[in-house]
Amino acid sequence: MSARPLKVLISNDDGPPCHEESPFILPFIEHLESLGWDVKVCLPDSQKSWISKSFMIKEHVEMSYYHRETGERSYHRQAPYDIVLLSATPATCINIALHHIFKDEQFDLVIGGPNFGRNSANIYTLSSGTIGAALEAVMSQKKAIALSFAFFSRDFAKNKIECACQMASNVIQHLYQKDMWPAHGLFNVNVPLVDELRPVRLTHFHTTSYGSLFRPLKDKMISDAATTSDASGEMVEQSVRSEAEGHEPGKTIFHFAPDIKSMSHPADPDSNTDAWALQNRYVSVTPMVAAYQIANMDKDYELDSLHAKI
């Protein structure tokens, strides 16, 4: 398969371009366009991280447009390159984009991302709205890639973002040319945000676990949050501080406050995993199937004996 500009559909879970929550989406779009790729974009109109492949089935979906030069939002398209926004989850964005907004387009590939932060290990991949967008594309029989930019500090220098975009497009073009897509699957790609091109590793998911992801708050008192090195943790704290002000005295509420640092930096991960690759600043490529894994079918659970006990 010869190298040629690709026609791609992009969505994410971080929402429209925003320095605090979604700083990578616009540079990535512009990078792909500089390569001659035909890029269509349909994003959630607000932050939708940790939402996996969900649909809000009782909510109507509203469409609007984001002007890339001014940042203005409108219910009417102002320019051909406006970004389509939906009041919806990433998976919903992909489904509506493929079957309604861009139904006449023949996309080579659907890209979820680039995510603001890593999507490595089972704890992130099972929760990621970025991966949820790619999974939804697979459900519509499209080739899909979930893309994340893993950062290690708050230094989002322009040259680092450009380097990450270059590594990402190199990997995407290579995978598309090789045309070795997993059956009923996709690729999960994590790119380190560094200032040099890095090697690429084929990886498995690091498997781990976590405890509580929430904290209780009482009487509108906002407890001091542990400092995190991940954007999602900081974003959650900011939203909680504003939302908790409206709660009645005496009411107990719980807010999302995971220990992002320990979850993102596991101790001694295996060298064939995505977590190890990112710790060593490698690009991680993980083939995955859009289905839950079936386990232990060879074991005898003695289920046939249950009818006699009912």
- Report pLDDT for 249: 67
Distance CA 134, CA 189 (A): 11
Confidence of residue 139 (pLDDT cuts 50, 70, 90): very high
- Please list the residue range(s) of the chain that carry CATH number 3.40.1210.10: 7-205+268-289
b/e map 74-85, b = 16+ CB within 10 Å: eeeeeeeebbbb
Phi-psi region of 222 (alpha: psi -120 to 50; beta: other; left: phi over 0): beta
Domain 7-205+268-289, CATH: 3.40.1210.10
Q: What is the pTM of this model?
A: 0.86
For tokens 């925003």, the residue is 18
Confidence of residue 2 (pLDDT cuts 50, 70, 90): low
| 296 membership: H or E segment, kind and range | none
- Whether the pLDDT of residue 224 is over 90: the answer is no
User: 302 has which bridge partners?
Assistant: none
Whether 3 shows a pLDDT value over 90: the answer reads no
pLDDT given at position 308: 66
Q: CA torsion sign, 294 to 297 to 303 to 304?
A: positive
Of 163-177, 200-214, 242-256, 276-290, minimum mean pLDDT range: 242-256
pLDDT surpassing 50 at residue 200: yes
Query: pLDDT-derived band of residue 218, with 50, 70 and 90 as boundaries?
Result: low
pLDDT in tens, 86-107: 999 999 999 999 999 999 999 9
